[in-house]
């Protein structure tokens, strides 16, 4: 089992500002946590972050053309805007779980809508970075 963990724009700033919304962990902390969980189930993860929509699209296509079994995707603010990422998810057979650290439904109105969720097998939000672990567990069915 091989999973791709994708992170969108500004998530490289995690732990540096707004800890009341996103917590104190850095993205590296999240990566280490995800790697530990995956390796305890003999699975491997490829953990990536980009601030660029096209790069995220290329990585989704690449996952479909390689041996990736599932994608855990925190698309950042592209969640609320990107038809191109929606189409990228729709264009591959790899299952995707959308993850948000914060509860997007309890925040500003512009964050309530996800352009991507309907193309994903599910959405996890508001549970902090534990959401990444839950999504990994879902793919591993543990």
Does residue 116 contact residue 75 with C-beta atoms inside 8 Å? yes
22 a catalytic residue: yes
78 a catalytic residue: no
Work out which of 13, 36, 112, 137 binds ligand CA2, going by CB under 6 A.
13
How many chain residues interact with ligand CA2 (CB under 6 A)? Answer: 17
Closest listed residue to residue 45, CA positions, set 57, 53, 36, 54: 36
* 82 marked as part of a ligand binding site: no
Draw the binding track, 44-83, toward ligand CA2 (x: CB under 6 A; -: no contact).
------------------------------x-xx-x----
- Subset of residues 91 to 120 that bind ligand CA2, contact rule: CB under 6 A: 100-102, 104, 111
Closest approach, Cβ 132 to ligand CA2, in A, equals 10
Work out which of 3, 6, 14, 117 binds ligand CA2, going by CB under 6 A.
14
Q: φ, ψ for residue 15 (rounded to 5)?
A: 85, -10
Q: At what angle do helices 130-140 and 27-40 cross, to 10 degrees?
A: 30
Work out which of 11, 68, 96, 117 binds ligand CA2, going by CB under 6 A.
11
Binding annotation: 74, 80, 87, 101-102, 111
Q: Which residues bind ligand CA2 (CB under 6 A)?
A: 10-11, 13-14, 16-18, 22, 74, 76-77, 79, 100-102, 104, 111
């Amino acid at each position: 089992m091989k999973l791709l963990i994708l992170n969108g724009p500004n998530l490289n700033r995690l732990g540096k500002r707004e800890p009341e919304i996103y917590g104190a962990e850095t993205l590296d902390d999240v990566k280490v946590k995800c790697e530990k969980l995956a390796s305890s189930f003999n699975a491997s993860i490829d953990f990536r972050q980009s601030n660029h929509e096209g790069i995220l699209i290329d990585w989704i296509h690449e996952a479909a053309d390689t041996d990736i079994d599932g994608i855990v995707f925190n698309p950042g603010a592209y969640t609320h805007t990107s038809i191109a990422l929606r189409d990228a998810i729709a264009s591959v057979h790899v299952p995707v779980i959308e993850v948000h650290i914060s509860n997007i439904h309890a925040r500003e109105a512009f964050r309530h809508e996800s352009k991507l969720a309907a193309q994903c097998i599910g959405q996890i939000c508001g549970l902090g970075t534990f959401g990444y672990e839950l999504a990994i567990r879902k793919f591993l069915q543990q």
